[in-house]
Amino acid sequence: MAHNAGALDRRDTAWYVDKAVEWLVFIGGISAIIFIVGIFVFIGKEGFGFILGRFDFAEFFFSPRWTPTSLTNATYGALALIVGTASVTGFAMLVSVPFSLGAAIYIAEFATGKRRETLKVLIEMLAAIPSVVWGFIGLSLMNPLIISVFNVPLGLNVLNAGIILGLMAAPIMTTIAEDALKAVPDGYREAAEALGATRWQVIRQVVLPAAKNGLVAAVLLGVGRGFGETMAVLMATGHSINIPSSIFDPVRALTATIATELGETAEGSEHYQALFALGILLFAVTFVINLTADLFVRGIKDK
Amino acid sequence: MVGTPAAADVKLDVKNLAIHYGDTCALRDTSFQIRKNEIFGIIGPANSGKTSFLRAINRMDMFDDNMRIDGEILLDGTEVRNWRNVYALRRRVGVVFPLPVGLPLSIYDNVALSPRLAGTRKKADLDVIVERCLTRAALWDEVKDRLNSLGSLLSGGQQQRLTIARALSQQPDLLLLDEFSIAVDPVTTMRIEDVLKELREEMTIILVTNLVQQARRLADRTAFFLTGECVEVAETEDLFTGAVSDQRTSDYVEGRFG
Amino acid sequence: MFEATELNAQHARTEKLYRILFGLMAVLLILPVITILTVLVVRGGPAISFEFLFSEPINGMTEGGIFPALVGTIWLVSVALVASVPIGVAAAIYLSEYAPKNWLTRAINLAIINLAGVPSIVHALFGVGAFVLFFNFGTSILAASLTLAIMTLPVVIVATRESLQAVPQAFREACWSMGATRWQTIRHVVLPNSVSGILTGVILEVSRTAGETAPIMFTGATLFLPFLPETVFDQTMALSLHLFTVSTQVPNVPEEVQYGTALVLIGLVLSMNAVSIGVRTYLRGKKKW
């Protein structure tokens, strides 16, 4: 009767279908890796020509003169663009981090039931507003507002773009921070409360230290969001190459430079390649930010 | 005390079986044979390795990275880990685990799923199978008017019987029952037990139970597992009349611990 | 006794203070959304009419409607969905149902995080380098939609994976123990119970895709086109880019047209988002086990 088992032990259609599906979904899975590598390869393909050829490290990182269209003396100093991006992102974080973390603390530790759900939905809505609409808000609402409130000639500046970016980065920071706070075991809170600590004491002395890594990740992802934002900073910064001396100065961001100049360059030209080189810089920085944030997030889970 | 049966009469041949979860040993160096068309009882207190043994037969270790199996389990003479099509193996082995899981499908589809996957398409054929399996699991009368409601929303006892019906729908030749009556009332349990006696004609049944008397009522032979060790395998009657080789067996059977 | 009560009262007061402080911070994040929506509705509302939605822009986009942009956005979103939903769902099925815990799975997860985190303008550069030039699709709906598809892929993957993982493991084990293959288990038990969750993810992706501007600027969308696209190899107008155009590129566009365009865009995006949230809330209340 031993042959009985052998006869039934056939690889049937279902077995082969299962294997085929496994391969198919595996391809879907690794496609994410293929795409990310593809992004690097295709941007590199256009941009490395510049980096290996015309690229001058000192000029690129330390000269504020970005004059790629100059016929006689084209220079590719990205300092002003880097400072532009950094100042807007920095100001945005200054505005946004306290509020985002505060909102996360409120949602995770104080709010309950319907109020909590409503807040979460509204923050999700905030995240859903397209960046071009934010840019439009900066242009047509914030601009006149800043001019009249601060009595300055131009309302498209670091202040304007910073506030807009801060609002755009707030949802991701709030959400990730809330997750981090929620991940702190209730046992910690109960133990501290049993010792007679008030809610705030529990939060400050127990919950916040325990959630520290997640909060750092939240801020990092917020920085990444602000750093890579394109349309809103294009429309709200004033778009002029300039190292700002106050928040009322207009600036120009890396992303916005690519967005405005790419359409006007000839494919393969030095200028065109320089824009791809800016892309490589953006890609590399956000890659590092995301990687670091992920390491911090995994830090929470390992605990 | 138990003679070695002819090879053709052996359904399951367990040789030096050991099961580990990580560093924890769930079952060690166990060997015995289960004959065709017998009800083989396994008794013993919690954490004796009974459930691990059943999971090993069904190759559920594939889904648990932590679970390691050494030794051999021969089903009809073939080592279960050598089956090329593990799904065909599982189709021949029906299992009822102690925590009943009604799938989130209709009651009808719960029972019809396995025949459908095996290629039965005709509604009339499926109707017959569904009614027969549910009747044997003593559930038909309670659900025949609502076959379209969700199996996952039945009561615990009903889900338990639904799981039995599902196992029967596979038309297995080896049926593994793990504490099948845990959430079922005594009267219904008796009805299912009567069905099991009939099913013995069609298949081999391994009955893992905490209820010593249930093993006595049903099993032809019974094994006693204790903390990962197979202490004894004997004719059930011998076990209960004191003809045992290990003192611990009679202590457990007579309720001195457990 | 008295001192303890006094202390308690003081604690209760500080407690309340902190509650109000943090609540205020949450409200300050929410307030701008409500203000912005109100302003858009008040200023853009009067512009919305049948004619605005269904006619072409005329007189240098200072008059007329947004019809070609609306149609273009529908084209872009549809083609992007066709490309990304199958890949995204497959990737999520792999990660949730098949993937072993190894370095490759970690690499895939990292890649997904990075796809979501790479700036949209970098996606645009990739679209130009890969689809427009290398695959030679030219600036077309196809190139723009594929760029959008890759950019929003993480949305589908994350939502699908979440809804697959919400199906309890016990159901899978029950199904496997009956001899069902992994795929049969997915097909008959897991997918039917997560399809609505996947749908919310897809709707969310529609909302994201419709609002994106930077990735389509150089890959397929144009500022103005006097006719509607007919194939995926045509260029097209798009609502998001149209808002950019009328608010920065063309002089003397009446405020009403700008706000109207913004209102239609945000209405489209937020209503999709609301549908997604609604479906999710409804599903949460409907227990199947």
Name the 3-class secondary structure at B20.
strand
Average pLDDT over residues C105-124: 94
Question: Residue A176 is which amino acid?
Answer: I
The answer to whether the CB of B19 falls within 8 A of the CB of B26 is: yes
Residue A233 lies in a domain: yes
Is residue A293's pLDDT more than 60?
yes
pLDDT in tens, C222-248: 888 878 899 999 999 999 999 999 998
Could C29 and A140 be called an inter-chain contact, meaning their C-beta atoms sit closer than 8 Å? no
- B interface with A, Cβ–Cβ below 8 Å: 8, 75-78, 83-85, 87-89, 92, 117
DSSP string, chain A: -HHHHHHH----HHHHHHHHHHHHHHHHHHHHHHHHHHHHHHHHHHHHHHHHTT--HHHHHH---EETT-SS--EE--HHHHHHHHHHHHHHHHHHHHHHHHHHHIIIII--HHHHHHHHHHHHHHHHS-HHHHHHHIIIIIHHHHHHHHT-S---SHHHHHHHHHHHHHHHHHHHHHHHHHTS-HHHHHHHHHTT--HHHHIIIIIHHHTHHHHHHHHHHHHHHHHH--HHHHHHSB------SSTTS-B--HHHHHHHHGGGSPTTSHHHHHHHHHHHHHHHHHHHHHHHHHHHHHHHHH-
Is residue A4's pLDDT more than 70?
no
* Subunit partners of chain C (3 or more CB pairs within 8 A): A, B
Cβ count near B202 (within 10 Å): 13
CB-CB neighbors (< 8 A) of C184 in chain B: 117
* pLDDT attached to residue C2: 52
Residue B117 lies in a domain: yes
For residue B234, what are the contacts with CB-CB under 8 A and spacing of at least 6? Answer: B1, B2, B221, B222, B243, B244, B245, B249
pLDDT > 90: percent of chain C: 62
Could A1 and B76 be called an inter-chain contact, meaning their C-beta atoms sit closer than 8 Å? yes
Contacts 24+ apart (CB under 8 A), C247-252: C247/A135, C247/A136, C247/A139, C247/A140, C247/A235, C248/A139, C248/A235, C249/C223, C250/C60, C250/C61, C250/C62, C252/C60, C252/C62
Tell me the pLDDT of chain A averaged across its residues: 89
Between CA C19 and CA C26, with CA C24 as vertex, the angle to 5 degrees is 100
Residue A207 lies in a domain: yes
Q: Which two tokens stand for residue B91?
A: 């189709």
Cα C1 from chain centroid (whole Å):
58
CB pairs under 8 A between B and C: 70
Residue B1 lies in a domain: no
Same domain, C227 and C137: yes
pLDDT > 70: percent of chain A: 96
Q: Which two tokens stand for residue B32?
A: 């015995």
Same domain, C193 and C231: yes
Residue B65 lies in a domain: yes
Residue B2 lies in a domain: no
Give the distance from residue B248's alpha carbon to the nearest chain A alpha carbon, in angstroms: 37
Q: Which of B92, B103, B117 sits opposite C174 (nearest CB)?
A: B103
Same domain, C88 and C110: yes
Categorize the per-residue pLDDT at B156 as very low, low, confident or very high, splitting at 50, 70 and 90: confident
The answer to whether the CB of B223 falls within 8 A of the CB of B232 is: yes
Same domain, C88 and C135: yes
Categorize the per-residue pLDDT at B1 as very low, low, confident or very high, splitting at 50, 70 and 90: very low
CB-CB neighbors (< 8 A) of C125 in chain A: 42-43, 46, 258, 262, 275-276, 279
Average pLDDT over residues B153-159: 89
- B interface with C, Cβ–Cβ below 8 Å: 58, 60, 63, 65, 87-95, 97, 99, 101-105, 113-114, 117, 150, 152-153, 163, 166-167, 170
Specify the higher pLDDT residue, A8 or A106.
Answer: A106
Could A15 and B85 be called an inter-chain contact, meaning their C-beta atoms sit closer than 8 Å? yes
Q: Which of C30, C94, C119 sits opposite A29 (nearest CB)?
A: C94
For chain C, the first-to-last Cα distance in angstroms comes to 51
Domain of residue B21, residue span? 9-253
Residue B185 lies in a domain: yes
Q: What is the 3-state secondary structure (H, E, C) of C59-110?
A: CCCCEECCHHHHHHHHHHHHHHHHHHHHHHHHHHHHHHHHCCCCHHHHHHHH
Residue A297 lies in a domain: yes
Residue of C nearest to B172 (CA): C178
Is residue C277's pLDDT more than 70?
yes
Could A32 and C133 be called an inter-chain contact, meaning their C-beta atoms sit closer than 8 Å? no
Q: CA nearest B44: which of B199, B210, B198?
A: B210
pLDDT in tens, B215-228: 999 999 999 999 88
Tell me the pLDDT of chain C averaged across its residues: 90
Residue A71 lies in a domain: no
Which H/E stretch holds residue B42?
Answer: strand B39-43
Could C125 and A121 be called an inter-chain contact, meaning their C-beta atoms sit closer than 8 Å? no
Q: CA nearest C95: which of C195, C202, C200, C186?
A: C186
* pLDDT attached to residue A3: 43
* pLDDT attached to residue C161: 94
Q: Which of B61, B66, B87, B150 to probe by mutation at the C interface, max C CB count within 10 Å?
A: B87
Residue B51 lies in a domain: yes
CB-CB neighbors (< 8 A) of A5 in chain B: 75-78, 83
Q: Which of C176, C188, C189 sits opposite B90 (nearest CB)?
A: C176
Residue A67 lies in a domain: no
CB-CB neighbors (< 8 A) of C130 in chain A: 38, 42
**Total number of domains constituting chain A:** 1
Give the distance from residue B172's alpha carbon to the nearest chain A alpha carbon, in angstroms: 12
Categorize the per-residue pLDDT at A2 as very low, low, confident or very high, splitting at 50, 70 and 90: very low
Give the distance from residue C153's alpha carbon to the nearest chain A alpha carbon, in angstroms: 8
Q: Which of A1, A2, A10 sits opposite B88 (nearest CB)?
A: A10
pLDDT in tens, C252-267: 888 889 999 999 999 9
DSSP string, C177-194: HTT--HHHHIIIIIGGGT
Q: Which of B36, B62, B76, B113 to probe by mutation at the A interface, max A CB count within 10 Å?
A: B76
Give the distance from residue C181's alpha carbon to the nearest chain B alpha carbon, in angstroms: 6
Domain of residue A172, residue span? 83-302
The answer to whether the CB of B245 falls within 8 A of the CB of B239 is: no
* pLDDT attached to residue B140: 93
Could C14 and A14 be called an inter-chain contact, meaning their C-beta atoms sit closer than 8 Å? no
CB-CB neighbors (< 8 A) of B78 in chain A: 2, 5-6, 9
The answer to whether the CB of B102 falls within 8 A of the CB of B153 is: yes
Q: Tell me the Ramachandran region of residue A38: left when phi exceeds 0, alpha when psi lies from -120 to 50, beta otherwise.
A: alpha
Same domain, C157 and C20: no
* pLDDT attached to residue A193: 81
Is residue A262's pLDDT more than 50?
yes
Tell me the pLDDT of chain B averaged across its residues: 89
* pLDDT attached to residue C4: 61
Residue B4 lies in a domain: no
pLDDT in tens, B95-150: 998 888 899 999 999 999 999 998 888 999 999 999 999 999 999 999 999 999 99
Distance CA B207, CA B213 (A): 12
How many residues does this entry show for chain A? 303
Residue of C nearest to B106 (CA): C288
Same domain, C116 and C22: no
Among the ranges B5-19, B130-144, B227-241, which has the highest mean pLDDT value?
A: B130-144
Distance CA A142, CA A164 (A): 9
Residue of A nearest to B75 (CA): A5
Is residue A35's pLDDT more than 90?
yes
Q: Which of A132, A145, A207 to probe by mutation at the C interface, max C CB count within 10 Å?
A: A132
Min mean pLDDT across A53-57, B1-5, C77-81 is at B1-5
**Total number of domains constituting chain B:** 1
Categorize the per-residue pLDDT at A63 as very low, low, confident or very high, splitting at 50, 70 and 90: confident
CB-CB neighbors (< 8 A) of A198 in chain C: 11, 14-15
Domain of residue C39, residue span? 2-47
Categorize the per-residue pLDDT at A1 as very low, low, confident or very high, splitting at 50, 70 and 90: very low
Which H/E stretch holds residue B55?
Answer: helix B50-57
Residue B104 lies in a domain: yes
Which H/E stretch holds residue C50?
Answer: helix C50-54
pLDDT in tens, A177-204: 999 999 888 888 888 888 878 888 888 8
CATH classification of the domain holding A261: 1.10.3720.10
pLDDT > 70: percent of chain C: 98
Is residue B93's pLDDT more than 80?
yes
Kindly report the backbone phi and psi dihedral angles of residue B13, in degrees, each rounded to the nearest multiple of 5, phi listed first: -115, 110
User: Is this complex scored with an ipTM above 0.95?
Assistant: no
* pLDDT attached to residue C1: 46
The answer to whether C183 faces chain B, any CB pair under 8 Å, is no
* pLDDT attached to residue C196: 85
Same domain, C28 and C107: no
Same domain, C194 and C159: yes
Distance CA B93, CA B172 (A): 5
CATH classification of the domain holding B238: 3.40.50.300
Q: Which of C176, C178, C289 sits opposite B104 (nearest CB)?
A: C289
* pLDDT attached to residue A202: 87
DSSP H stretches of helix in B93-122: 107-117
Give the distance from residue C288's alpha carbon to the nearest chain B alpha carbon, in angstroms: 6
The answer to whether C106 faces chain B, any CB pair under 8 Å, is no
